Structure 1
């Protein structure tokens, strides 16, 4: 099975080469590959199907034993066109890799969850090229942001099988030496404009030639704006007035142009880089959603209207592919399942997801809270690694309108002493302010679950609803989330909602993990936070929990645990294979129970 879809849906060029499929592969347990020059080795011992890690069934290997050093090799036909730049792209490689082309070292990358690329133009042979990749994924290094990937050899509890190596698409583009490097769209709903930031590749010398960007903006097949803009620098910024546009004002009214889960409106944008004669040097197609997110009066607002979030926790694992979806359509199916159940978004938990998932969220209308894998411990190395990955995440995913919240830290993972340790508190507040500094369009949660510092949302976890027979436990759960005061003082038995010297300042309170009802299907074995024996009891328990949520006068949204089973966790509404455990229409009915439409939480 080869993943063939274009891997970068917000920056699309027509011509590209997909390198997914069969690669040669070899374990290097003694780490002798560099010394013995595996980058020049003719054949490796195994074959693997990229982009699936060797631990997965779809890789063709399916071995769960630990191999920290692995090598990949592929022979490809890429013409050596001196008039173009040849860019080798990797969607994601876990965790550290070195890349060679025709035996020559071209670059390295650290970080298991973000995209990167290398200009390999100077390393090409005439036509037949050999690409070799060495990967190092140390199992027991707890300073690595690894999320749910366990640092022991066997998965257990909330920890899953480790993933080593290439797990997103590998591909090649050949572009003109003068080309568009990136474009960024920033909606300013209150001013009625969208800001477009263009950047050309750094090698361009603006002083020696004249370049123009031709852009065309469309909305529902209606031309909204087009222009020819001279590039006075390799990076330029342009505001496009949307609301005052006569065509737009005539054809679209109220909020029929903003992006939301109910109305996932998107603007299509085509960009052309031209020289002075008008010759097109590069063309890119992109899109954006016009939307605004902010907090006010204890509520989250979407497009200046209070918006109650009904999220589901999504781990993003598949039984055959682990971190990698077998097909791009599987992302779409997961979102469609969630919407069918009445959820309007997800918290993509401890995983930076494939851009194709975000594309489906953009087009189908599905809110996303973006996360990065956490490190288990706090050290300067762990902090540095996490900050680096987050800067790459924001750079890659900035344009996706579906992402409305960043979650840099979860349940004090990697910051275990944050309650009183000022160093770890400073790290939490640094992550909060850093993300706001590089992205002013989204909310940021400092530490999802408990022990928050500076934060836009007070995010609380509470699995204390109890089993069906535990009446007193359920009553305590219901009481503990019923008011702002109760949520802030006794929602947890072990942790404080805020770290020492930090307090609630009126930000919205959301219950961002709860539920986790385990229901075994067939010969399943595993665990959940509570358990039921059949589909009828599942609905009964789900109703009980949601009635407690919706009676709350302090909550402004929730995130239910979880969308699917994952390995030994059987607390999904769907099985690991995406089979519903109950009537999803009844889940939707319960997600649509009455809740207070406006809350005014005083700081």
Structure 2
């Protein structure tokens, strides 16, 4: 039965990828700033570990599954489910932290939401999902809307023809079952939070509307971009940028380019300036806030607006402070980013998957440069074409949503992947795709494949030839060496490129104290940070650091009782918001460093 299910999962993956590639399923840019009805709130749910709501006893899909939301037609009619009397979960949110019985649950949960709508004939309507982990099948009024694969990227469907005047019933089958051919694969070091984890919106647009747009800094230091209308339609779009100008673009075959002559003020780490932008088409006014910067690599320097910068950062999981679970609110994003700002950061690594649009928008307003990545993590199936298609689709969805976010400086294609031929081919294809989609930003990956040569840690991963910035994960003092040994570690590289120490750190239980050679004490973690900071000072091609990690986060791999208790303890802050000694050690290091460096490029 498991084999049959895996075959069907593969079928759904390929089908969903095919659906998402068509014009009808192109991502609706800036959905939350369009006219919409929020479908957030309480949803009825049915937990379905045996897939009873989808398959019959012969493991064939039903025609009258739970998605039909059937009611008995008489007292003798047999219907063995009832959303009306079922449990409830809040959306957005994960199910693991909302119900004790779902804490470790991996499988299917059916979600139902009824809503009212006054339908207007001259409008189109779109169901927009911020994220659903991991595999979702969407039904509206008993009809299949579509499917999606991937737990951290946004997607939407045109539901104009399925939407009814008055009451409607939306049902979503959500399955977070891990899959060896998935992205990520079965083995990770974070919690597999299941559910509809980000907001659901019913978005209203004109019949002909702006589907997508890109507004960037040109090579000539002016503003350029393009607008795309749905279904290759023709029409007029007005683009107004406060302080820059206004112009009307005639779109003839779905897409048109534009350029303003005026040079904009640059967004920077010290002055994260954003322009007020409005795009108008057929009565719809889409408002956005967009900044302009240039970022490039020159030798071993990262050049932001022509100046060499040092990225003082921290890695962050999408884990909610003060209670844990998936981050779902602006307030939770603000807490995490305020901690990073207090730490002295000008850069954040959003690991190991695309974080919410709310997080990205808030971070760029606060002056953080952002590393954003897809969950190509550890040993995914690099030989499987459908796995690659899945990874590429998640890459496309990440870049499509966030291409206008000036804070994004680096797209990451992978974390800690093995050096094998199939992986090299897999990642090189992703890198080429990234450059095709967005040539304005830097491409990176976090590697942990250094080897010792002549007494130094040599960076020679062949992927270094293809990325712009090399990320290195190194855990001297935790997974190898002693804390005191780290300060003497030396580094060399085959590539004349900038390096970011993308991970470094050690675990500690907040409040547990002892000698600095005692594992899990704050003193041990502090000793590791002290010594590693001395090591970092001696790497002449180092251009950034993002230690692991801002806050302790849940991971089922971490089972040590009384210490871990399902938490990765490498955070500088506990899940309860209490800072460990290492927070202040890193803070002092960052406060001693300027944002800008003397340009060492040659």
**TM-score, normalising length: structure 1:** 0.80
CA contact (8 A) 2:128 2:200 kept: yes
Alignment pair present for 1:88 and 2:88: no
1:119-138 Cα offsets, whole Å, 9 max, x none, are 11111222110001112332
CA distance in 1, matches of 2:167, 2:51: 28
> What are structure 2's unaligned runs of at least 5 residues?
1-26, 55-61, 72-81, 450-460, 555-566
Let me know the Cα RMSD of the aligned residues: 2.9
Please state how far the C-alpha of 1:564 moved relative to its aligned partner.
Answer: 0.5
CA distance in 2, matches of 1:466, 1:100: 48
Change (3 A) 1:557 1:160: closer
Please state how far the C-alpha of 1:231 moved relative to its aligned partner.
Answer: 2.5
CA contact (8 A) 1:9 1:286 kept: no
Alignment pair present for 1:270 and 2:283: no
CA contact (8 A) 2:148 2:155 kept: yes
Change (3 A) 1:127 1:466: closer
CA contact (8 A) 1:429 1:446 kept: no
Please state how far the C-alpha of 1:446 moved relative to its aligned partner.
Answer: 4.4
- Structure-1 residue corresponding to 2:4: none
CA distance in 1, matches of 2:517, 2:143: 52
Question: Which one of 217, 220, 229 corresponds to residue 187 of structure 1?
Answer: 217
Alignment pair present for 1:392 and 2:407: no
Change (3 A) 1:9 1:182: closer
- Structure-1 residue corresponding to 2:468: 456
Alignment pair present for 1:520 and 2:513: no
CA distance in 2, matches of 1:125, 1:509: 55
CA contact (8 A) 2:486 2:531 kept: no
Alignment pair present for 1:100 and 2:154: no
Please state how far the C-alpha of 1:72 moved relative to its aligned partner.
Answer: 0.8
SS in 2 for 1:32: coil
- Structure-2 residue corresponding to 1:479: 488
Alignment pair present for 1:401 and 2:406: yes
- Structure-1 residue corresponding to 2:236: 212
Please state how far the C-alpha of 1:55 moved relative to its aligned partner.
Answer: 0.9
CA contact (8 A) 1:318 1:577 kept: no
Alignment pair present for 1:510 and 2:500: yes
- Structure-1 residue corresponding to 2:183: 145
Please state how far the C-alpha of 1:459 moved relative to its aligned partner.
Answer: 1.9
Question: Which one of 184, 209, 227 corresponds to residue 198 of structure 1?
Answer: 227
CA distance in 2, matches of 1:302, 1:234: 33
Change (3 A) 1:534 1:138: closer
Please state how far the C-alpha of 1:592 moved relative to its aligned partner.
Answer: 2.6
Question: Which one of 31, 48, 68 corresponds to residue 89 of structure 2?
Answer: 48
- Structure-2 residue corresponding to 1:329: 331
- Structure-2 residue corresponding to 1:371: 373
CA distance in 1, matches of 2:542, 2:591: 15
CA distance in 2, matches of 1:519, 1:32: 42
Please state how far the C-alpha of 1:93 moved relative to its aligned partner.
Answer: 1.0
- Structure-2 residue corresponding to 1:154: none
CA contact (8 A) 1:97 1:133 kept: yes
- Structure-1 residue corresponding to 2:423: 424
CA contact (8 A) 1:519 1:538 kept: no
CA distance in 2, matches of 1:73, 1:402: 36
CA distance in 2, matches of 1:62, 1:260: 47
CA contact (8 A) 1:79 1:128 kept: no
CA contact (8 A) 1:11 1:286 kept: no
CA contact (8 A) 2:238 2:249 kept: yes
Change (3 A) 1:532 1:430: same
CA distance in 2, matches of 1:428, 1:552: 27
Change (3 A) 1:39 1:194: same
SS in 2 for 1:487: strand
CA contact (8 A) 1:266 1:287 kept: yes
Superposed, 1:204-603 pairs within 5 Å as 204=233, 206=234, 211-218=235-242, 223-243=243-263, 257-274=265-282, 281-318=283-320, 324-374=326-376, 376-378=379-381, 379-380=383-384, 381-412=386-417, 416=418, 418=419, 421-450=420-449, 451-453=461-463, 454-465=466-477, 473=482, 476-481=485-490, 486-488=491-493, 504-521=494-511, 531=519, 533-534=521-522, 542-567=529-554, 568-582=567-581, 587-593=586-592, 597-598=597-598, 600=600
Change (3 A) 1:231 1:128: same
Please state how far the C-alpha of 1:81 moved relative to its aligned partner.
Answer: 1.7
SS in 2 for 1:409: strand
Alignment pair present for 1:24 and 2:44: yes
Please state how far the C-alpha of 1:458 moved relative to its aligned partner.
Answer: 2.3
SS in 1 for 2:428: helix
- Number of positions where the alignment pairs a residue of Structure 1 with one of Structure 2: 524
1:478-507 Cα offsets, whole Å, 9 max, x none, are 3333xxxx333xxxxxxxxxxxxxxx3311
Please state how far the C-alpha of 1:239 moved relative to its aligned partner.
Answer: 0.9
Please state how far the C-alpha of 1:304 moved relative to its aligned partner.
Answer: 0.8
Change (3 A) 1:10 1:177: closer
